Structure formats: structure tokens, C-alpha cells
Chain A
């Protein structure tokens, strides 16, 4: 069926070209990752902005109660969580650089370490939750802990999602690295940095911010 074969070639070539054009178009735009990751990041940032506003509004209404809640949390755990995520972000940056240089071995090593730290973050957060729950603090015990469990819980789910993206990048790095893979890892890295950045805001909000009421 020579006619049929001609048709297949005629369809598949523009498809491949369209893909390449899309990738290079993104390169020109200077925006890392695939387009969709920015929809995710924008959506998540808007949602968290709403969470921050809700928390801040509640805090303004009852500063003493919120300050009392803050004092129940262990700032050392918060500090450790922050350092863990910042370090993992640094490792992800190294993985992206390695991907751009085409070194799949370095990509995998850095991603593996970043994922280990991510697991450490989730483990330490779980320990923190158990510790707080055993101390008698539940989501309904007071507004501060209501927000604490809800907002950090949603953040923790984002950590899991980010780890899933890093895991996909890790598995994909077993094949030779190409332009498309770089888009993948850039997407995963952007999401991971967003997760990290959100925690950098959550840490002082829950663990450090004093209300001025002693």
C-alpha cells in the first residue's frame, strides 16, 4: 500500500517538527520547564496566598491565642525542616545543571539525594504531627492549630507530589539526556523550588512570628 505509507510520513513529519518547534519556542521565551508547570505554580501560589491571608486575618483577630499556639511548636524542628528543603533545592539545581551538560550519572546522584532529603522532610513532619497530637493539639483545639495542620498538611501533599516529579525525572535519566528531558527536569525543579519557597514562608509564619503579646 504505497499510498498509505506516503500518508503516514506526511502526518508524522509535521508532528515531530511541531514538537521541536514548541521546545525551541520555550527556549526562546527563557521560561524553564514545560508550559503547564507554570499553570500549576500560579494556581498553587494563588491558593497559598489565600491561605496566608486567611491565617493572617484570623491572627489579627486573636493575636494572644495564636501566639500561645506558636509557643507550643518546636522551632528547632521547623529550622531542621527548612534546612532540609533548602539543601534539597540546591541538589535539584545541581541536577538541572548536570542535565544541561548531558551528564546523566550526576543527574541521578543529585536527584537521589534530593529525594532522600524530601523523604526526611516528610518523616520529620510526620514526627512533628505525632508529637503535637500527643501533646493534645488537634485541628479543632484552637484556630492556630486548625490552620497549622491544614496549611502544613497541604504543603506536605505538595512535597509528595514534588517527590513524584523528581522520581519520574530520576527514572527518565536512565536513558540518554535530550532537550525534552531537560524540559522535564526543569519542570520538576521549578515545582520543587515552589514547594521550598512556600515552606520558607510557612516556617516563620507558624514557628517564629511573634504577635507582640507577651
Chain B
């Protein structure tokens, strides 16, 4: 016999957790289709950059409108994670706050940079240099805000490492991997110094490797968090049944 309060609550958790994969898929498609695979090179001239915005204004408008709509999903995902990690470190732990703030604030650069691309698509008749500036600003903010997401990764990693269950909710290697990815993001600091080569914003180290390890981490975390929610629901249901039995017994004794 399932307790509807318990099942409903975990259903909400799961919906929130699915926002992670949802965000990644939508972003990969709609943000990516705006000439971001790989990014436009920092070495391009203002005229070359402007030509792209002028040729494809509606592509940028469509892509960035959808990307901005779903950017908040990242924060929703972070909140679901904090609920799960709260079962390990306690719901009042500062690690939950750090994780949620890190995840929530990650949405800010996502929104602001998408708005810059959208502005360029909205007003492609702006001077070439302004269009290039919008593109450069967007990439500077998107790459250099890495430390905000690192805070989320560190807090989450430490929280899941504190899991003392015989079979932890999140495998320990995934928690460690998250901490490592958070540190590996430091390589983003090199980006402003290069316009070409592997460390430039469109370089395969700065873009493909750094973004790929982030995606791998996010998918792994989503997979294990969703799986954990099912497990936590079963545990909560078993606990509630046990409590119901105890209450019934007490009722008999007192009767």
C-alpha cells in the first residue's frame, strides 16, 4: 500500500531531476545550431562576424529564444540534486546551499550570453564592430563564469562522498570526477589570451574537451540522481509502512 504524500513528493523530485537531461538536449540543439559547433573564432574580423548575423537573423532568434526559455531547467535540476544530497548530509547542510547557488547562478551567464546572441540576431543592422563585440562579450562571460559552476561541482562532490551507505546513492568515482571537472575548468582562464589554436574559445581543448567533460559529468549525475530518487522513494515507502504498522500495534496495545 503506497502513501500518496510520499509518492507525490518523489514524483516532483524526479520531474525536477529530468530537467537536467532536458536542458542539455535543448541547449545542444538550439544553442548549438547558432554557429556554436565550434564557436565562431575570436580571430574573425568584425565584417565576417557581422555577415553571419545578417545572413541568419531568424536562426539566432529562434535558437536563442528556445535556449533562454529552457535555461532555468538547469536551476531546477540543481534543486532536485540538493534534495537527494540532503538525504546524505542533512537538509540544513551548507553543501546543499552551495550546490543550489552554484547551479542557480550558472543560469545567469546562460541567459545573459544568449540574450547577447539574440540581440545580434534581432538587430543585425548594427555596426560590424558592435556585432563582434556582442559575440566576444558572450564568449568571455560564458567561459569565464566557469567558477560559478565549479562551486556546484565541489559542493555536490563533497556531499555525495559523505554517503556512508554500503552502496552509495552516487558512485564515489562520479563524485570525485565532478570535483576534478570543477578543477579542470581552470583551463578556461587561458581562453582570453588566445585567438587561435587549441586554447582559443573555438580551440578543441578549450571547447570540445572542456565542454565534453562537463556534459559527461552532467549526464552521469542526472542518471544517478534519477536512479537515487527511485531508491529513496522505496526506502521512504518502506519506512512509512513500518510506521503505520507500529502505530497500529500501539493502537491495539492502548485499546
Given contacts A15-B164, A146-B199, contact A139 B175 (CB under 8 A): no
A157 near B186 with CB under 8 A, answer: yes
Q: Given that A18-B164, A50-B209 are known contacts, is A40 also in contact with B198, CB under 8 Å in the complex?
A: no
Give which listed residue, A18, A51, A146, A161, contacts B183 with CB less than 8 A. A161
Shortest Cβ gap from A212 to chain B (Å)? 23
Q: Which residues of A contact B213 (CB under 8 A)?
A: 43
In angstroms, Cα B206 to Cα A146, docked, is 14
A43 touches B205 (CB 8 A): no
Please provide the chain A residues from 15 to 60 with a CB less than 8 Å away from any CB of chain B in the complex. 15, 18-19, 35-37, 39-40, 43-44, 47, 50-51, 54, 58
Chain B residues whose C-beta falls within 8 Å of the C-beta of A35 in the assembled complex: 172-173, 176
CB proximity to B under 8 Å, residues A134-153: 139-140, 143, 146-147, 149-150, 153
Cβ distance B250 to chain A, nearest Cβ, rounded Å: 12
A146 touches which of B166, B176, B187, B197 (Cβ 8 Å): B197
Q: Which residues of A contact B184 (CB under 8 A)?
A: 43-44, 47
The minimal Cβ–Cβ distance linking A53 to chain B, given in whole angstroms, is: 10
- CB-CB under 8 A for A36 and B187, given A47-B209, A143-B197: no
- Give the interface residue-count category, chain A: 20 to 34
Return chain B residues, CB-CB under 8 Å to A149. Answer: 193
B161 within 8 A of A: yes
Instruction: Tell whether A154 pairs with B176 under 8 Å between CB atoms, given A50-B209, A139-B194, A146-B199.
Output: no
Contact of A39 with B166 in the complex, beta carbons under 8 Å:
no
Q: How far, in Å, is A104 (CB) from chain B's closest CB?
A: 25
Given contacts A39-B180, A40-B180, contact A51 B205 (CB under 8 A): yes
Partner of B180 from the list A43, A147, A153, A154 (CB cut-off 8 Å) is: A43
In the complex, the answer to whether A150 meets B161 with C-beta atoms within 8 Å is no
Interface size on B, residues (CB 8 A): 25
B83 at the interface (CB under 8 A from A): no
Q: Which residue of B164, B176, B195 contacts A40 across the interface (Cβ within 8 Å)?
A: B176
Is there an interface contact between B205 and A54, defined as CB atoms closer than 8 Å? yes
Provide the residues of chain A in CB contact with B179, threshold 8 Å.
Answer: 36, 40
Our pick among A15, A51, A154 for the contact of B186 (Cβ within 8 Å) is: A154
Within 8 A of A (CB), among B196-244: 197-199, 205, 209, 213
* B199/A39 in contact, CB under 8 A: no
| A143 CB contacts on chain B under 8 angstroms | 197
Tell me whether A150 and B177 are in contact in the complex, defined as CB-CB below 8 angstroms, given that A18-B166, A50-B209, A51-B205 are known contacts: no
Contact B177 A140 (CB under 8 A): no
Chain A residues, CB < 8 A from B209:
47, 50
Q: Are A36 and B197 in contact (CB under 8 A)?
A: no
B190 on the A face (CB < 8 A)? yes
Task: Given contacts A35-B173, A43-B180, A51-B205, list 4 more A-B pairs with CB under 8 A.
Answer: A19-B164, A36-B172, A39-B176, A47-B187
- Would you give 5 A-B contacts (Cβ < 8 Å), ordered by A? A35-B172, A35-B173, A36-B172, A37-B176, A50-B205
Chain B residues with a Cβ under 8 A of chain A: 161, 164, 166, 172-173, 175-177, 179-181, 183-184, 186-187, 190, 193-195, 197-199, 205, 209, 213
